[in-house]
Chains A and B, each alone.
Chain A
Amino acid sequence: MKTSPATTPPETAGARATAAHRSSPRRVVVVGNGMVGHELVRRLVAADVGHRIVVFGDEPRPAYDRVRLSSYVATRDVTALALAEPEVYEHPDVQLRSASRVVAIDRDRQVVRTDQGADEAYDELVLATGSRPFVPPVGDGDGPGCHVYRTIEDLDDLVASVASGARRGVVIGGGLLGLEAAEALRTLGLHTTVVEFAPHLMPAQLDAPAAAALRRHVEALGIEVRTEHATKRVVRAADGRPRALEFADGTTLDTDVVVYSAGIRPRDELARDCGLPVGERGGVLVDRTCRTEDPHVWAVGEVAAVDGVTHGLVGPGYAQARVVAARLAGGDGEVPDADLSTKLKLLGVDVASFGDAKATTPAARCVVVDDPVAAVHQKLVVDDDGRLLGGILVGDADAYAVLHQFHLGGEPLPAAPITLLQPAAGDAAPALGPAALPDSCTVCTCSNVTKGEVRAATAGGRITTLAQLKAATNVGTGCGSCATLCQRLMEHELEAAGIEVDRSLCEHFPHTRQELFDIVRTRRVRTFAELLDGWGTGSGCATCKPAVASMLATLWNEHVLDAAHAPLQDTNDRYLANLQRDGTYSVVPRVPAGEITPRQLIVLGEVATEFDLYTKITGGQRVDLFGARLDQLPSIWQRLIDAGFESGHAYGKALRTVKSCVGTAWCRYGVQDSTALAVQLELRYRGLRSPHKLKSAVSGCSRECAEAQSKDFGVIATEKGWNLYVCGNGGMRPRHADLLAEDLDTPTLVRVLDRFLMFYVRTADKLERTSTWFERREGGMEELRAILLDDSLGICDELEAAMADHVASYTDEWAATLADPQKVARFRHFVNDDTPDPDLAYVRERGQRRPVFDHERELLPVLATSGTGRSDGQVGG
């Protein structure tokens, strides 16, 4: 705000009345920076009419995606909750005052007063203060161990409370948010109970049979459910912490933590205090333009009572924000009837409810599919003309997006309702698809985007991922419930245009790698079959199987050749060697930091000679031995292990090498012992499975002989310690690493590296290098420093502990394989014959052999007798 109230030229009431329609600049003050407040600011900026906008927010950060708040418990990553266009707050006309609360409104002077005592003048004032959690009157219910579930800080408090030794948790309230909170408690490892006053879960959205199906799912997750229970008081232990809940019927339930999720109340005090009328059940009373009785004061979101009715969903709030933004820019518009549909995904349980879900419309008829075995309950409510009035989907909500559109469109259904849920005998799929929708239908009600606009955005393959589509059209950036539909629409368009489509991990999992990683970690999934059963379809493929195998290996460190994991592995991991072009393998023993004894060098030479292996020293300071047949691998490795070698993981998406120079041990320039550190790091992180292979290096001085700045993580010695560089390499698109920290002592360096590697492993996408992972993150190096050095997310202990687990549970995969005769038995070319592959053929080149190329096969007899080459013909046999 550039103009102080004192210098504001006085205006007459009449001039003010038409102010909104005048050309600007106008001063707009937005009180509240939640999702709806953010949407309003975004829309105001986009309107580009030169408003000066001041936004006040209670919380210490810009608006974030509260709808997905629960995911924060697992990731503790605020940046993952970013809303569309966070950069609007950098716009020169926008000022965001975080952690700043408006305490009073003076409508006569047109100023708001903040808790810091400052006044801010407005021409137009928009209240977007949202709501606060309702805490039911529970005896002794306010104090340590009792929480609400609304903000990042609430969740941080909850996590801290749980961390102080809680084992059991109770959520009071079995509505949508209550179930989310219960899932969060479960994620935190608590034995969790949901207590609901009504006879069934989600009473606002579901009928009794649907709620029963939901309850079966919730209980299958290990969450206990108690309905028809009124909480009377919290029983506290001597130290003041909760010990149990006592109910109205006199029964009790032991618990260490209580979370209230019993509804919300509009934060309408500011309006009440300045004399603005409020609704019967609270909320700032506004008309369909979202204007209060004061022409310069507006209200949007959960605090707004449009025609007296408040809504606790983001969709109606976004619609209100759009109307106010349009009106402040001189346009018009009114909010439509609120769309109260909800879709919830409680990690694996689909719940959707839309329209007249409880069939209260006269003459409404219901089509119900209820499968208690699969715990699926689906209900469609139609009228006499076959129009879809509403519906409920529990357990299987795949049809939601399209059904919801038919409901909003108000046109008769294209087929008998039952066929929309259940395919008729012989049909492969229900008679619904995104192609069936008209272009005019609104696919994203939060951002008001039609199917036609999505089609236009994707035309010609300009957009191929959901992320791009979100950026271009804002679909799916509000409540997110349309994301699946939009993805399918986009894929449909792209496929029609003959363009390949990005489908999350693969056709078997509609999740990103990070989402799957979180599922595997928080739900303690141990096998691929379990994950596929709960979160995927089909039987998997060469994309998802190795990706999941990598997660399982990272998290649980089980042997990759165990029967449950072996089918997940591509040949490299399955045979612990790198497949080469003729079907033989290369053998790469670990040579930590390139330091190798003469005796070990001799053994490598002896083994290579005995098995006639092509030998090459690689850029990663290792000796690769090529041309080993499947059946030869165990005997080769037995020889190597006897000589003190172990697997170099050259076949895995894992740490490969830590390259080093000789450092102070021999070098006349070295300032630190780079070889010792490189050995230490390579041994610490050996076997760490990651989204992409990892390479590292340590240089003993700034001459950088080990080329540490071209690695995923690299260390350069200084006079005072170590400089740490990260996220270099980049493969096809080379990238220099960036400096993360300077002059670290060795224990600190190791601690930071533990954090860095584990954070990367947990948050990167499939096959995503550290370089692309880094470039994708919005906060850059500042953010990474905050997370890894200042522990801004509070996850460093957890990351270090995870790495400590990895280090403690490391075993050499080849030694373990050789100790298991059943695993050794898999190393043969034919299951029914001991002969090796008869098609293998080699020629000699520069003194060693290499496989023939196809065009050389017919020349084999010539090559075999020529002076420079000699065919080995059929090796072995």
Chain B
Amino acid sequence: MSDLATLVPERDDTSHPGHVEVCDLEAILPDTGVAALVGGRQVAVFRLSDGRVFAIDHHDPCSGANVLARGIVGDAGGDPVVASPVHKQRFSLTTGRCLDAEDRCVDVHAVRVDGGRVAVASPD
């Protein structure tokens, strides 16, 4: 899928206006994330083993690297989080807040799963 045009699927586009399909749900191992390019933005999409799917920025504001999808997924007091693989700061998957550096946060993106396909709200 090197051509961005192929990202806009024919089938589900109308059912989720503004959402961009990125992959099959099965392409994400439970409790891990993948990075996706959504409308030019790097987005990290996580699939939890309880079935929930979240999307936040892939860019780690603490290190400046595009790596958050590669962090370890877990929970902090029940709230799902991902720990940046660079210096382990945790980001809430529900609010985007950084739990370990109060002045940092990332954007949270709406995500839907339909017919086994994961679609992320385009930031534009």
Contact = CB atoms under 8 A, between A and B. Distances in A.
Given A583-B67, A834-B1, A545 B72 contact: yes
A839 B90 CA distance: 22
Contact of B65 (A540, A567, A574, A581): A581
Interface stretch (A102-110, A388-396, A825-833): A825-833
Given A563-B29, A583-B66, A541 B22 contact: no
Interface residues on A, range: 35 or more
A833 B7 contact: yes
Given A583-B67, A831-B23, A545 B74 contact: yes
A854 B70 contact: no
Given A567-B31, A830-B37, A832-B1, A507 B77 contact: yes
Contacts of A831: 22-23, 27-28, 34-36, 45
Interface string B15-35: 000000111000111111011
Contacts of A829: 35, 66
Nearest to B28: A831
B72 A542 contact: yes
A574 B69 CA distance: 12
Contact of B85 (A541, A570, A832, A835): A570
Contacts of A545: 72, 74
Given A507-B77, A541-B75, A835 B37 contact: yes
Nearest to A583: B65
Interface residues on B, range: 35 or more
B106 interface: no
B81 interface: yes
A575 B70 CA distance: 9
Contacts of B59: 839
Interface string B46-85: 0011100000000100011111001111111110110101
B2 interface: yes
Contacts of B21: 832
Given A579-B85, A833-B2, A540 B74 contact: yes
B88 interface: yes
Contact of A832 (B22, B63, B64): B22
A539 B75 contact: yes
A847 interface: no
A833 B37 contact: yes
Interface string A79-101: 00000000000000000000000
Contact of B66 (A541, A569, A837): A837
A571 B82 CA distance: 12
A540 B73 CA distance: 8
B86 A579 contact: yes
Nearest to A837: B66
Contacts of B48: 539
A174 interface: no
Nearest to B24: A831
B72 A570 contact: yes
Contacts of A10: none
Given A529-B49, A545-B72, A831-B36, 12 more contacts: A539-B74, A541-B81, A542-B83, A542-B90, A545-B74, A570-B71, A570-B85, A571-B67, A572-B85, A826-B29, A833-B4, A839-B42
9 contacts: A539-B75, A542-B83, A830-B34, A830-B37, A831-B22, A831-B34, A833-B36, A835-B2, A839-B66
10 closest Cβ pairs, A-B complex: A583-B65, A542-B83, A541-B74, A567-B31, A571-B85, A831-B34, A571-B70, A542-B72, A834-B2, A833-B37
